[in-house]
Amino acid sequence: MVVPIRADVDISNVALDGLHRAEVKLEKAATRIASFGAGSSGGANTDTVDLSAEMVAVMLARSEFSANLKSLETAGEEQKSLIDLKA
């Protein structure tokens, strides 16, 4: 499904929002990973942390971060080209 791009949408804002969401996902996964084994004095965690699932979450957040960063870079290049055209 192709979603049409509205003329009033700023790609930079969309990319920045995506970067923020990827950061939140990474922070949540990192917190869960860091809590692994910290549940009791003996090191036995009463909560189960699925390390493989959390590592997948970290990798997905990294991919989302990279994609949004590339979008932001492209938006910057586009703006520079528009400024060069007007000059």
Residues 6+ positions from 2 with CB-CB distance below 8 Å: none
Q: What are phi and psi of 41, to 5 degrees?
A: -65, -25
Average pLDDT over residues 4-28: 87
pLDDT tens figures, 20-32: 999 999 999 999 9
Predicted pLDDT of residue 52: 92
Domain ranges of the chain: 11-86
